[in-house]
Chain A
Amino acid sequence: MGSTSSTLLKIPNVEVLMQETGFSPAHIIRLHDRFKALDKEGRGHLCPQDFGAIKELAMNPIGDRIIGAFFSPGKETVDFHTFVKILILAHFRPVDKNRPKEPNSPEPINSRSNKLKFAFQLYDQDQDGKISRDELLKVLQAMLGMQVTEEQLESIADRTIQEADLDRDDAISFEEFRKSLEKVNIDHKMSIRFLR
Chain B
Amino acid sequence: MEGAWEIAFVLFQVWLSIVVGLIVLPAMFGVSLGFTDIYIKVLVKTLEVKAFLLCLVSFQIHNVLSGIIEKDDDFTMCDAFYFCKKGIENIVEDQVTQRFTSEELASWNLLTRTNNNFRYISVRLTIIWGLGVFIRYCILLPLRITLAVIGLSWLVIGTTLVGLLPSSNAKNWLSDLVHITCYRICARGLSATIRYHNKENRPKKGGICVANHTSPIDIVILANDGCYAMVGQVHGGLMGVIQRSMVRSCPHVWFERSEMKDRHAVAKRLKDHIADKTKLPILIFPEGTCINNTSVMMFKKGSFEIGGTIYPVAIKYDPQFGDAFWNSAKNNMVSYLLRMMTSWAIVCNMWYLPPMTRQDGEDAVQFANRVKSAIAHQGGLVDLSWDGGLKREKVKESFKEEQQKMYSSMIVGLDCHEASEGPV
Contact = CB atoms under 8 A, between A and B. Distances in A.
Interface string B407-419: 1110110001001
Contacts of A193: 62, 64
Interface in B366-424: 390, 394-395, 399-401, 403-405, 407-409, 411-412, 416, 419-420, 424
A149 B84 contact: no
B116 A2 contact: yes
Contact of A60 (B60, B63, B90): B90
B29 interface: no
A158 to B, nearest CB: 11
Interface in B73-95: 74-95
A59 B403 contact: yes
Majority secondary structure of chain A interface residues (helix, strand, loop or mixed): helix
Q: Residue among A51, A91, A188, A192 with the most chain B CB within 10 A?
A: A192
Nearest to A163: B76
Interface string A65-97: 010000000000000000000010011000000
A147 B424 contact: no
Contacts of B60: 195
Contact of B412 (A38, A66, A152, A188): A152
A148 B420 contact: yes
A195 B58 CA distance: 10
B357 interface: no
Interface residues of B, number: 55
Contact of B117 (A26, A31, A37, A143): A26
Contacts of B71: none
B132 to A, nearest CB: 13
B82 A195 contact: no
A194 B409 CA distance: 32
Contact of A147 (B75, B85, B405): B405
B118 interface: yes
B120 interface: yes
B61 A195 contact: yes
Given A144-B411, A147-B408, A148-B412, A62 B80 contact: yes
Contacts of B86: 56, 60
Contact of A3 (B74, B88, B120): B120
Contact of A55 (B64, B93, B94, B412): B94
B112 interface: yes
A149 B421 CA distance: 10
B59 A189 contact: no
Contacts of A177: 77
A140 B407 CA distance: 11
B84 A160 contact: no
A60 B403 contact: yes
Contacts of A152: 412, 416, 420
Contacts of B66: 188
B150 interface: no
Classify chain A: how many residues form its interface, as a range.
35 or more
A66 B86 CA distance: 10
A62 B77 CA distance: 14
A125 interface: no
Interface string A140-163: 100111111100100010011000
Given A1-B118, A56-B96, A62-B87, A156 B411 contact: yes
A33 interface: yes
A129 interface: no
Nearest to B66: A188
Interface string A1-43: 1111000000000000000000000100111011001100000
A192 B85 contact: yes
Contacts of A184: 76, 78
A90 B400 contact: no
A34 B405 CA distance: 31
Interface string B22-53: 00000000000000000000000000000000
A63 interface: yes
Nearest to B96: A55
B84 A147 contact: no
B84 A195 contact: no
B403 A61 contact: yes
A31 B92 contact: yes
Contacts of A172: 77
Contacts of A190: 81, 84-85
B64 A180 contact: no
B402 to A, nearest CB: 9
Contact of B80 (A31, A54, A58, A139): A139
Given A4-B119, A90-B88, A146-B404, A189 B83 contact: no
Contacts of B416: 148, 152
Contact of A143 (B83, B91, B96): B83
A192 B405 CA distance: 25
Nearest to A191: B64
Given A144-B411, A196-B59, A119 B401 contact: no
Given A34-B92, A181-B76, A195-B60, 16 more contacts: A2-B117, A29-B116, A29-B117, A31-B92, A58-B395, A59-B399, A62-B84, A62-B87, A87-B91, A87-B92, A144-B404, A152-B416, A180-B77, A191-B85, A192-B85, A192-B88
Shortest Cβ-Cβ A-B pairs, 4 listed: A145-B404, A147-B408, A66-B87, A56-B90
8 contacts: A3-B118, A59-B395, A123-B77, A143-B83, A159-B75, A184-B78, A192-B92, A195-B60
